[in-house]
Chain A
Amino acid sequence: MNPLIALMIIVPIICALFLNLLHKKDRTIKAIAIVMAITLPLLPLLANYGLHYFGGYEPLYQNPALSKGLPSLITGTALNTFHPAITYSFQDAQKLFIFILGLVAFLAIIVSLFETRRPSGVYGFMMFMGVAAVSALILTDDIFNFYVFFEIAALATVGVVLVSQVKGNYETALKYMILGSIASPILLLGIALLLGVTGNVNITDIILSLKSGAVNPQNPVILMACGMIFFGWLYGSGLPPFHTIKSAIYSKALPHGAALLQAFSVFTFIALGIIILRIFSYLPLSQLVIIGVSLLAMIMGITMAILQTDLKRMIGFLAVGELGYIGLGLGLGTALGITAGLFQAVNEVVITAFLFIGFGTIYYQSGESDIRKLGGFMVKNPKVALLVLLSGFAMAGVPPLNAFQSKLMLIQASVQAGLPELGVIMILLSIVTFMTFMKAFHAVYMRPQPSDLEIKNDFIPKATILALSILLLVCLLLGLFPQMATNYLQGISTSLAGGVP
Chain B
Amino acid sequence: MIMDTQLASLFTAGALIVIGIFASVFLDNLIKKVIGLAFIGDGANLFLIAMGYKPGGIVYIYLPGMARDWFAQNSAYPLPFAMVLTSIVIGASTMAVMLGIIMVLYKKHGSLRASKVLGE
Contact = CB atoms under 8 A, between A and B. Distances in A.
Contacts of B47: 189, 192
Contacts, number: 85
A71 B75 CA distance: 14
B80 A195 contact: yes
Contact of B33 (A152, A178, A186, A195): A178
Given A71-B69, A195-B79, A182 B21 contact: yes
Interface stretch (A167-175, A289-297, A481-489): A167-175
Nearest to B109: A171
Given A70-B68, A151-B90, A192-B44, A181 B37 contact: yes
Contacts of B21: 182
A311 to B, nearest CB: 22
B104 interface: yes
Contacts of B73: 73
Contacts of B105: 170-171, 174
Contact of B118 (A174, A186, A196): A174
Does more than half of chain B's interface fall in helix, strand or loop, or is it mixed?
Answer: helix
Contacts of B40: 181-182, 185
B83 A71 contact: no
Contacts of B5: none
Given A182-B24, A182-B37, A201 B79 contact: yes
Does more than half of chain A's interface fall in helix, strand or loop, or is it mixed?
Answer: helix
A149 B18 CA distance: 26
- Interface size on A, as a range, is 20 to 34
B118 A171 contact: yes
A144 interface: yes
A181 B94 contact: yes
Interface in A34-75: 70-71, 73-74
Contacts of B90: 148, 151-152
B72 A74 contact: yes
A175 B73 CA distance: 47
B1 interface: no
Given A174-B105, A182-B37, A71 B68 contact: yes
Contacts of B101: 162, 170, 173-174, 177
A13 to B, nearest CB: 15
3 closest A-B pairs by CB: A185-B44, A181-B37, A196-B51
28 contacts: A71-B69, A73-B69, A73-B73, A144-B86, A148-B86, A152-B90, A155-B94, A170-B104, A170-B108, A171-B117, A171-B118, A173-B101, A174-B101, A178-B24, A178-B33, A178-B98, A181-B24, A181-B40, A182-B21, A182-B24, A182-B40, A186-B44, A188-B44, A192-B48, A192-B83, A195-B51, A196-B51, A199-B77
Interface of A: 70-71, 73-74, 144, 148, 151-152, 155, 158, 162, 170-171, 173-175, 177-178, 180-182, 184-186, 188-189, 192, 195-196, 199, 201
Interface of B: 17, 21, 24, 30, 33, 37, 40-41, 43-44, 47-48, 51, 68-69, 72-73, 77, 79-80, 83, 86-87, 90, 93-94, 97-98, 101-102, 104-105, 108, 117-119
